């Protein structure tokens, strides 16, 4: 016997301004999170995106087709209540940042990494007074504690919705610096993706990429693009 699945019951999904932000109404019923909290969104842009996802549902509701709704639910039900723990976890990426770990050969790969990553490390040093050290190979390098603390402070200035986006920007890229650079407008999302996939692109150039690899990379890029869109939506107050 198959389990019960929620089905569309509403005629119209619309946005309504409320105290603290915007909510999505399904006819006369306000959307709530899975934890039954009010789904109050920080910007009209995000609320309209959520409403569009609900409006697109036909028949059975398919949460996998509602990425903005899922991210907003996570921001309210999880990140808001576990903010310090999420901050601690993401700040730890600074100690093992992708940009700090370089190949020890061949020369072309070393040069490619330096061309993409050195300017971003220089930017972080100037922007946050946080200079990260660089090493070759897989031997860990101990980063300056004060530099890591300043990066954590910068990360902690974001709100729960922004932090939800940064969670994926950091986790998928493997770099706190890349994520902060996207959040600050230092680089675009396509530039961040290219910078985060230098090693993988190099390997594909040398040996070719199979279909399974390409599918996985496509999903990773889609997730990174969604995170960047969600970050932008969290700030659009028009």
Neighbours of 224 (CB within 10 A): 24
- For the chain, the distance separating the N- and C-terminal CA atoms, rounded to the nearest angstrom, is 47
Q: Is domain 13-72 given the CATH code 3.30.2180.10 in the classification?
A: yes
Q: Where are the domains of the chain?
A: 13-72, 83-233
Domain 13-72 identical in fold to domain 83-233: no
pLDDT given for residue 5 in this prediction? 64
pLDDT given for residue 4 in this prediction? 46
Structure tokens at 107: 């020369």
Q: Could you please state the CATH topology (level 3) that the domain comprising 83-233 is classified under.
A: ATP12-like fold (1.10.3580)
Distance CA(102)–CA(115), nearest Å, equals 12
Residues facing residue 26 across a β-bridge: 13, 29
pLDDT given for residue 237 in this prediction? 61
pLDDT given for residue 139 in this prediction? 87
What's the chain's length in residues? 238
pLDDT given for residue 137 in this prediction? 82
With a threshold of 0.85, does the pTM exceed it?
yes
pLDDT given for residue 209 in this prediction? 80
pLDDT by 10s per residue, the chain, length 238: 345 468 888 889 999 999 999 999 999 999 999 999 999 999 999 999 999 999 999 989 999 999 999 999 999 999 999 999 999 999 999 999 999 999 999 999 999 999 999 999 999 999 999 999 999 987 899 999 999 999 999 999 999 999 999 999 999 999 999 999 999 999 999 999 999 999 999 999 999 888 998 999 999 999 999 999 999 999 976 4
Q: What is the 3-state secondary structure (H, E, C) of the chain?
A: CCCCCCECCCCCEEEEEECCEEEEEECCEECECCCCCECCECCHHHHHHHHHHHHCCCCECCHHHCHHHHHHHHHHHHHCCCHHHHHHHHHHHHHHCHHHEECCCCHHHHHHHHHHHHHHHHHHHHHHCCCCCCEECCCCCCCCHHHHHHHHHHHHCCCHHHHHHHHHHHHHHCCHHHHHHHHCCCCCHHHHHHHHCHHHHHHHHHHCCCHHHHHHHHHHHHHHHHHHHHHHHCCCCC
């Amino acid at each position: 016997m198959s389990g019960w699945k929620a089905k569309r019951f509403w005629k119209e999904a619309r946005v309504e301004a409320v105290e603290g932000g915007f909510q999505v109404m399904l006819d006369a019923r306000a959307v709530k999170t899975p934890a039954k909290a009010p789904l109050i969104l920080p910007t009209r842009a995000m609320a309209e995106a959520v409403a569009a996802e609900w409006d697109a549902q036909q028949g059975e509701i398919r949460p996998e087709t509602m990425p903005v709704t899922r991210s907003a639910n996570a921001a309210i039900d999880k990140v808001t209540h576990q903010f310090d723990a999420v901050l601690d976890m993401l700040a730890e990426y600074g100690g093992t940042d992708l940009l700090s770990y370089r190949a020890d050969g061949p020369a072309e790969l070393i040069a490619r990494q330096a061309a993409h990553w050195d300017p971003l490390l220089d930017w972080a040093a100037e922007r946050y007074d946080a200079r990260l050290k660089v090493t070759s190979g897989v031997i860990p390098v101990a980063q300056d504690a004060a530099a890591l603390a300043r990066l954590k402070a910068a990360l902690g200035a974001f709100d729960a919705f922004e932090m939800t986006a940064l969670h994926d920007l950091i986790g998928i890229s493997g770099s706190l610096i890349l994520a902060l650079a996207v959040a600050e407008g230092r680089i675009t999302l396509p530039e961040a993706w290219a910078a985060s996939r230098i090693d993988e692109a190099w390997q594909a150039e040398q040996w070719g990429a199979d279909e399974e690899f390409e599918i996985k990379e496509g999903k990773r890029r889609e997730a990174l693009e969604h995170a960047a869109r969600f970050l932008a939506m969290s700030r659009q107050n028009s």
